[in-house]
Amino acid sequence: MSTIPEESKIQTVKEKKSYPYYIENPVEENRVERFLEAFAAILKYTDYKPLLDSYCNSSAKCNRCAVTCPVFQVTHDPRDIPCYRTNLLLDTYKRYFTIGGWFKSRFTSTFELTDDIIDEMLDGFYRCTACRRCTRECPMGVDHGMITRLGRYILSLMGIVPKALQVSTREQLEGETHNTSQIPKAALLNTLEFLSEELKDMLGIEVEFPVDKMKRDYVFFCAVSDYLLEPETLMGNAAVLYASGDWDRWTIGTCNYDGINYGLFYSDWHLESIIKQLIAEVDRLKGKNILIGECGHASRSAHDFVPVFSNGKPYPVYNFMEYTLKCIKEGRIKLNNDIVTEKVTYHDPCNIARSGWIIDQPREILKSFVPNFVEMTPHGKDNYCCGGGGGLVSVDEIHDFRMNIAGKVKAEQIRRTGAEIVISPCANCKKQLKELVEHYELPCQVMGIHDLILKAIEIPGAKSAAERNEEAEMFAM
């Protein structure tokens, strides 16, 4: 019974602290009216109403969601019970948007939306990482991740969004650079040049990154922050594309090179606009497929929502790991299985494992060249969130919350594996896990799966993996 999570000896955090995030223009007045107005508009134009109707009717109050939630496991605070938080929104819905609720309010003193409740939501919806772990256990299929997102959506319509997310999406949709990290085109080109040089030094191959090439099979988008923070991952990606012989079948577009989509975490309009921006870039380049780098939520949002928001036939969306596995299976790339001797474990990013389609692929890749691979318990669809999901990782001011509460279970889990390397093929998880490793002083290193592939890949005509390994060791001394 691999699905039984170990609740383990996690210590509970007793204090009832709130972890405020910065809001650009906090609203003080008429919050209740504005909340209801935004809620009404959403109910009018979107498809959420039937969902709410059915959730209002069915919750069994069975408490399974509580015991599966990593946040509740640490705080044991009733307000962190997923069902409790979800009910804040459901009660509002019932009271103000159903006949039964209105009727009841004429006779008894029922639930009323107040400023305090809005404060509770404002706090609560950003204490949930929208990882959807609880949803898998809920007998009634209540999708707390979706309700959290809907709650955040309503709040965002009254201007309540963590500033970090809002500023990034604004830049992505309206800024000059069209990406969340504000990397201008010139800087991108510089980075690519730098990566070429690094590849030459390291592997001994001469490549120029394909930029704005037309009619290529794959148009590549990664979390744009990778260009700043994760050069090794990108070089691993490049090495795979080069070794497989597909170097002239892919391209990076310069009008839009960001796969990040914070709309997935808080707003339908942003989600759709950013997806359309992505589709427009592939249209412009007359590309055939969308290839997403190592990023969980970018993969999920493109994979699930490009089909929803496309007019006509949608572009197929692939995660880079699917591509790499395909190349390995077809014998197009070779990985040396003597290079990585450390104990390696794999962290499943929620967005592509539980809410996606990528669980076995990375394991197949890793097992093909890593002799010492261990699993975390639980893993796969039942994994624990890194603690930075739902955009929380980008909100620096709640670092304490992410470390001491949301990420605590994960840190324990990593410690128990005894692994020296934690593979996490997601820009968000990587950032959070690196911070966790530092915070809990875990004796391990966090990296992407292509960072590891970069070490072990054998490319004909280039330096061998063993040679490179030796060089790296010399360099380290």
Partner 1 sequence: MEAWIDFAKGPLFAVTFLIMILGLARLLIIQVYNLIISKGGRLKNAPWKSILKDAVTWFIPVKHLIKGTVIFSAFSFMFHIGVILVPVLLADHIVLWENFLGANLPAIGQGFADFLTLFTIGCILVLLIMRVFVRRQRAMSKPMDYFLLIMVLLPFASGYFASHPGSNPLTWESMMLVHLLSAEFLLVLIPFTKLAHIVLYFFDRISGLHWQLRPGAGDKVARALFDEEARV
Distance CA 418, CA 468 (A): 27
Q: Pairing between strand 334-335 and 317-319?
A: unpaired
Q: With CB under 6 A as the contact rule, which of the stretches 57-65, 207-215, 308-316, 324-332 interacts with ligand HEM?
A: 57-65
Shortest spacing between CB 460 and partner 1, in angstroms: 38
Which amino acid belongs to residue 107? F
Nearer to ligand SF4, 68 or 179 (CB): 68
Contact flag: residue 357 with partner 1 (CB under 8 A): yes
- With CB under 5 to 8 Å by kind, the binding choice for 394 among ligand HEM, partner 1, ligand SF4, none is none
For residue 23, the SS3 value is strand
Among 136, 163, 284, 415, binds partner 1 (CB under 8 A): 136
* E strand segments, 174-280: 218-221, 250-251
- Alpha helices by DSSP H, listed for 98-143, are 99-107, 115-124, 133-137
Shortest spacing between CB 441 and ligand HEM, in angstroms: 39
- With CB under 5 to 8 Å by kind, the binding choice for 460 among partner 1, ligand HEM, ligand SF4, none is none
Contact flag: residue 145 with ligand SF4 (CB under 6 A): yes
Burial 256-282 (b: 16+ CB within 10 A, else e): bbbbbbbbbbbbbebbebbbbbbbebb
Please report which helix (H) or strand (E) contains residue 345, including its range: strand 344-346
In SS3 terms, 146-165 reads as HHHHHHHHHHHHCCCCEHHH
The arrangement of strands across the sheet holding 317-319 comes to 250-251, 218-221, 289-292, 317-319
Contact flag: residue 62 with ligand HEM (CB under 6 A): yes
Among 20, 78, 100, 139, binds ligand HEM (CB under 6 A): 139
- Alpha helices by DSSP H, listed for 4-45, are 31-45
- With CB under 5 to 8 Å by kind, the binding choice for 146 among partner 1, ligand HEM, ligand SF4, none is partner 1
Distance CA 113, CA 233 (A): 47
Contact flag: residue 68 with partner 1 (CB under 8 A): yes
Shortest spacing between CB 270 and partner 1, in angstroms: 7
Nearer to ligand SF4, 71 or 328 (CB): 71
Nearest CA-CA partner of 245 in 207, 212, 282, 193 = 207
- With CB under 5 to 8 Å by kind, the binding choice for 357 among ligand SF4, ligand HEM, partner 1, none is partner 1
Can you say how many angstroms the Cα of residue 367 is from the centroid of all Cα atoms in its chain? Answer: 24
Nearer to ligand SF4, 31 or 149 (CB): 149
Among 30, 58, 114, 190, binds partner 1 (CB under 8 A): 58
Binding to ligand SF4, residues 57-116 (CB under 6 A) = 59-65, 68-69, 71, 82-83
Contact flag: residue 60 with ligand HEM (CB under 6 A): yes
Among 120, 212, 246, 304, binds partner 1 (CB under 8 A): 304
Q: With CB under 8 A as the contact rule, which of the stretches 56-64, 224-232, 432-440, 466-474 interacts with partner 1?
A: 56-64
Hey, which residues does 423 pair with through a beta bridge?
Answer: 346, 447
Nearer to partner 1, 37 or 198 (CB): 37
Backbone angles phi, psi at 219, to 5 degrees: -105, 125
Among 59, 105, 191, 254, binds partner 1 (CB under 8 A): 59
Residue count (the chain): 477
Burial class (CB in 10 A: 0-12, 13-18, 19+), 380: middle
- With CB under 5 to 8 Å by kind, the binding choice for 3 among ligand SF4, ligand HEM, partner 1, none is partner 1
Q: Which two tokens stand for residue 434?
A: 């690196």
Distance CA 354, CA 407 (A): 17
Among 26, 62, 438, 467, binds partner 1 (CB under 8 A): 62
Distance CA 408, CA 401 (A): 10
Shortest spacing between CB 428 and ligand SF4, in angstroms: 14
- Binders of partner 1: how many residues, by CB under 8 A? 65
Which residues bind to partner 1, rule: CB under 8 A? 1, 3-7, 37-38, 41-42, 44-48, 50-51, 53-54, 57-64, 66-68, 72, 76, 78, 81, 83-84, 87, 136-137, 139-143, 146, 157, 166, 169-170, 173-174, 267-273, 304-305, 307-309, 314, 357
Which residues bind to ligand SF4, rule: CB under 6 A? 59-65, 68-69, 71, 82-83, 128-134, 137-140, 142, 144-145, 148, 385
